[in-house]
Structure 1
Amino acid sequence: MTSPQRADPVRTCVGCRKRAAKRELLRVTAGSDAHGRAAAVPDPTATAPGRGAHLHPSVACYDLAVRRKAFGRALRVSTGISAAPVGDYLTSVTSTASEA
């Protein structure tokens, strides 16, 4: 008797609002930036504690999320939250991938 295959968990991208497998998305959590202000920070290993939001690892979805102010809503942070750390992470990942 074989066990049924488990389906990958599905999450919704806060940028484009499309559903995708959890492993295809970048998890983002509430944290603080280098100056101690509230910020959305990338969690590529998906191991940080607390509430998370998911985002396709693309600049287009990031721009949509910033324009809609989706990080604050998804992470349930009432004050203004900076998304710069996520943008910096995506820029470094895409520039590293293009160099390889």
Structure 2
Amino acid sequence: MTHRSTSLAPRTPVRTCVGCRERATKRELLRVTAGADEHGQQAVLPDPTGTAPGRGAHLHPTTACLDLAVRRRAFARALRVPASAAGLSTARLAQHVAEHLARHTSTTGSARGEPTDP
């Protein structure tokens, strides 16, 4: 028999990063989808609002997790794209991650949004 939590606190959705495979809250991760880039090529596209149609995957918005996901070929597997499209472009996603890091590093002092020691 499964025991359910009797807590009245709302549960926070948890997802797994396709790069580092760590679980994190949905708010901490960036949703990505498969689609066509501006050149019509299959690509992994950022979905910061989480409203794009289709299957999505989640990624910490860091270059380390992006590099791990690319090296492990995790996007093709997570997004369930055909093997012929395994060469998904991640250029637009890399640009989005770099912009995200630049915004958050300049405002918080670190890439993960944690305060840095003085």
Same fold (TM over 0.5): yes
Based on CA coordinates, which of the two structures has the bigger radius of gyration?
2
Whether 2:30 is the aligned partner of 1:26: answer yes
Q: Secondary structure at the match of 1:36?
A: coil
2:67 corresponds in structure 1 to 63
Task: Pick one of 73, 78, 94 that aligns with 1:87.
Answer: 94
Q: How does 1:71-82 map to 2 (within 5 A)?
A: 71-78=75-82, 79=85, 80-82=87-89
User: How many pairs align?
Assistant: 98
Which runs of no fewer than 5 residues in structure 2 stay unpaired?
A: 1-6, 108-118
Q: Distance in 2 between matches of 1:30 and 1:13?
A: 16
Which runs of no fewer than 5 residues in structure 1 stay unpaired?
A: none
Instruction: Give the TM-score taking structure 2 as reference length.
Output: 0.77
CA RMSD of aligned residues (A): 1.4
Q: Distance in 1 between matches of 2:9 and 2:103?
A: 34
Alignment-mate amino acid for residue 41 of structure 1: L
Q: How far off is 1:97 after superposition?
A: 3.1
Alignment-mate amino acid for residue 87 of structure 1: A
Higher RCO structure, 1 or 2 (CA under 8 Å, sep 6+) = 1
Structure with more of its chain in strand, by fraction: 1
Identity %: 60
